[in-house]
Structure 1
Amino acid sequence: MDVYLGLFAVSFVAATLLPAYSEVVFAGLQAAGHDPWALWAWATAGNTLGAALNWVIGRWLLRFQDRQWFPFKGAGLKTAQRWFQRWGVWSLLLAWAPVGGDALTFVAGLMRVRFPVFLLLTATGKGLRYAVLLGLVGIGRQLWSSS
């Protein structure tokens, strides 16, 4: 159980604005023979909840948009709003992306995306990413063991 909680924690941190690489831990644990579906569930849950933290922070920080330290100024915030409105909430399916995915979940909070919609789309994208990784590591193990 400690292994899965550790994966959950790394996956959670990896979804925030802090640097962490849950894919490496995920693949290593799968290669070590841990239950692949349990790994998938724990990693997806941790990564999704980490993204939810970004959403909450974005939503909370919006009340400070008139402060000098706020990370998005008037024009920058309007640009982010236009971009998000152009691509819509469906862009949250890409919240798993290593570049921009974490910021996307933060911006979703700023843009007041309804939380159930945010959670569904983000969890779907992140779950699919870990499912693909599950398959790739499985294929790699088969190729490695047959040679």
Structure 2
Amino acid sequence: MEYLLDSPIQWLLAMLALPKVGLTAIFVVSLISATLLPLGSEPAVFGYVKLAPDMYWLAIGVATLGNTLGGVITYFMGEGAERAYEHWRQKHGHEPGHVSESATLAGGRWHAQISRWSHRLGPSILLFSWLPAVGDPLCAVAGWLRLSFWPCVLYMAVGKFLRYALVTAGLLWFFPPA
């Protein structure tokens, strides 16, 4: 037990050890990995299902729930950032349609293109919220653009569920349980 106090990483790994806490660890890792932090939850889901194959659908459901809630947190982060930006812009007297030269240089063109694409596709764009490096920012953009919340949650959940089900099934096909 003394080694648990050596570093926060060792303590966290011991607390999330799959045989001890299983589904709780999957939920926590899935939730954290759906925020803007770079963490993958698929190894935890696969490891748990490999240890307990009869828990496949429950593990997929728990991972989907955690990852979707993490996406919802990211959605609200995007919405909060947009509100803060609007507040700042009004306080500093910037006109609504005015784009400064620094904003253009800092990605104004990309922002405009992603905004058009997101508005055109609407909440269904969040079917892609499972994609690495793109999915989490998509959730934040949906919040920034204030896309309809409940349809966003539904599309997030469907995309994340399909990802967990297919990736875990594929890994089990390559590495079958003993």
TM-score, scaled relative to structure 2: 0.71
The residue identity in structure 1 corresponding to 2:40 is Y
Q: Does 1:98 align with 2:118?
A: no
- How far residue 48 of structure 1 moved from its aligned partner, in angstroms, is 0.3
Q: Which has the larger radius of gyration?
A: 2
Which residue is 2:146 aligned to? 112
Of 12-21 and 30-39, the range deviating more from structure 2 = 30-39
- Aligned counterparts of 1:21 and 1:5: Cα–Cα separation in 2: 16
8 A Cα contact 2:35 2:73, kept in partner = yes
- How far residue 37 of structure 1 moved from its aligned partner, in angstroms, is 1.0
- How far residue 31 of structure 1 moved from its aligned partner, in angstroms, is 1.2
Which residue is 1:49 aligned to? 69
Unaligned segments of structure 1, at least 5 residues? none
Q: Does 1:9 align with 2:43?
A: no
Structure 1 segments, 4+ long, off by >6 Å, are none
Q: Does 1:89 align with 2:126?
A: no
- How far residue 82 of structure 1 moved from its aligned partner, in angstroms, is 1.6
Residues 14-93 of structure 1 aligned to structure 2 (within 5 Å)? 14-34=33-53, 35-66=55-86, 67=88, 73=103, 75=108, 77-93=111-127
- Aligned counterparts of 1:130 and 1:63: Cα–Cα separation in 2: 33
- How far residue 112 of structure 1 moved from its aligned partner, in angstroms, is 0.4
8 A Cα contact 1:30 1:137, kept in partner = no
8 A Cα contact 2:26 2:63, kept in partner = yes
The residue identity in structure 2 corresponding to 1:40 is I
- Aligned counterparts of 1:36 and 1:137: Cα–Cα separation in 2: 12
C-alpha offsets along residues 118-138 of structure 1, whole Å, 9 cap, x if unaligned?
010000000000110232133
May I ask how many residue pairs the two structures share in their alignment?
Answer: 140
The residue identity in structure 2 corresponding to 1:19 is P
TM-score, scaled relative to structure 1: 0.85
Unaligned segments of structure 2, at least 5 residues? 1-19, 90-102
Secondary structure at the residue paired with 1:97?
coil
Of 82-91 and 35-44, the range deviating more from structure 2 = 82-91
Secondary structure at the residue paired with 1:65?
helix
The higher-RCO structure (CA 8 Å, 6+ apart) is 1
- Aligned counterparts of 1:79 and 1:60: Cα–Cα separation in 2: 21
